[in-house]
Every structure is written in structure tokens, then in C-alpha cells.
Amino acid sequence: MPTRSARTSWTGGLQDGAGQVELTSSGAGKFDVTFPRRVADAAEGTSPEELIAAAHSSCYSMALSAEIANAGGTPVSLDVTADVDLGPDPAGGFRIRKITLTVGGRADGLDAEGFAAAAEAAKKGCPVSKALAGVDVIELVLV
């Protein structure tokens, strides 16, 4: 399997500095990042948490597609949203406290119970879920 890369260039301190994240493997884009925008209520530019949410929702979608097929179903459409919650860490600084995966979709050949079982298996088997094992809660919400 290939290695994927991203690069960030940063100048200045935490509060007054700024950086740019570049998706170097794919060349898909460059994104400005700053700490004040990272912790602001309104999203301006991207943040590490948004990039983690993108990675998690896309990886989970692929894992769920595979689990549906493993259960004898045929994935028709999936819609996955990942919400990443950044907050204070009792030990100091910040930490990702919770990720909520909201999952909707349709799969031929599986009932609601079969879909739910595939969704739970995908949560456990998704490589990004595994990488995020240090997050206190990864919640799965089926819609």
C-alpha cells in the first residue's frame, strides 16, 4: 500500500502565526490554518479537526461498503458525516474528546438490523477509527 503525505509550513507563534497545509501526495489543494480560526465558533479556513473529519468520514464509508458486502448485501448509497469535537484536556492543552459518525444509506439485501451490524463492524474495522483509538468516544448514529 502507498504512503500518503501532507506538509505544513508555519511561521510565527501559536496565537499570531499562520500556516498552510498542502496535500502533497494528491496535489488536491493547499489550505490556510491558524490557531485562532481553529478554535473559533465560525469556521474560516480549515483545521486539523476538519481534515480528521474528512479522513474519518471517507474511510468509514469505504469500510461500511465492504462490511455490507461481507454481510451479503449490496451497497446502493451511503451518506456519512463525521463531527470532531475539540475541547480542553484536563491534563492541559486541548484534545479531541468525541467524534460522532452520522450514517445514512441504503443497501439491498440487508434489513435495518443487518445494516446496523455492518455499521458497527465498519466502526471497529475502519483504519482511521483504529488510528483514532485515543479519542474518548467515537459515537455511531444511524439515521
Residues 6+ positions from 16 with CB-CB distance below 8 Å: none
Beta strands per DSSP E along 23-134: 30-33, 74-88, 94-108
Whether residue 133 is predicted with pLDDT greater than 80 in this model: the reply is yes
Q: What is the pTM of this model?
A: 0.91
What are φ and ψ of residue 74, in 5° steps? -125, 115
**Interval 46-50 mean pLDDT:** 92
What tens digit of pLDDT does each residue of 92-102 get? 999 999 999 99
Among 98, 97, 119, residue whose Cα is nearest residue 107: 119
53: number of Cβ within 10 Å: 19
What tens digit of pLDDT does each residue of 88-128 get? 999 999 999 999 999 999 999 999 999 999 999 999 999 99
Whether residue 67 is predicted with pLDDT greater than 80 in this model: the reply is yes
